[in-house]
Amino acid sequence: MRWTCVPFRELTTDRLYDVLALRAEVFVVEQNCVFLDIDGLDRQTWHLLGQGDDGKLQAYARLIPPGLKGSDALIGRVVTSPAARGGGTGRQLMAEALAQCERLWSGHPITLHAQAHLERFYGSFGFTPVGEQYMEDGIPHQEMRKETFE
């Protein structure tokens, strides 16, 4: 897996297309969620892309800087391609997302809004639940926070 983490302005048109296509494939089609994926934040965030040896986008996460949506850094739009699942790609993606957050915003806590069935997965990276579960786009979610880097 080859990882790239760039601000929006450094995304090529082709890479942006790949990102939006993967997000739509998984969040809109696979998870059957009709929502406004293009929410006005992409231009102000960093984009973590994991490309396979064939150059295809296999994993992606959006990294939101502290101060844009609260005081914490935020990891969102975490997604792996259906074709890349089952081989540890999701774990690689989260490890890389955490490393990039540390590089970009050293010392800041990180928040994410996990689909509730993934709470244990994110917990394995040091995230702990904050508050009660809530529904978003018909899917139970849990806000989670990581206080420090390990």
> What is the enclosing helix (H) or strand (E) of 68?
none
Predicted local distance difference test score (pLDDT) of residue 43: 96
Contact 60, 133 (CB under 8 A): no
Burial 112-121 (b: 16+ CB within 10 A, else e): bebbeebbee
Burial of 12 (0-12, 13-18, 19+ CB in 10 A): exposed
Predicted local distance difference test score (pLDDT) of residue 35: 77
Predicted local distance difference test score (pLDDT) of residue 150: 53
Predicted local distance difference test score (pLDDT) of residue 104: 96
pTM over 0.85: yes
pLDDT in tens, 36-48: 788 889 999 999 9
Which CATH code, of 3.40.630.30, 1.10.10.10, 3.40.50.300, 3.90.950.10, is assigned to 2-146? 3.40.630.30
Low pLDDT (below 70) residues in the chain:
148-150
Predicted local distance difference test score (pLDDT) of residue 3: 97
Predicted local distance difference test score (pLDDT) of residue 60: 97
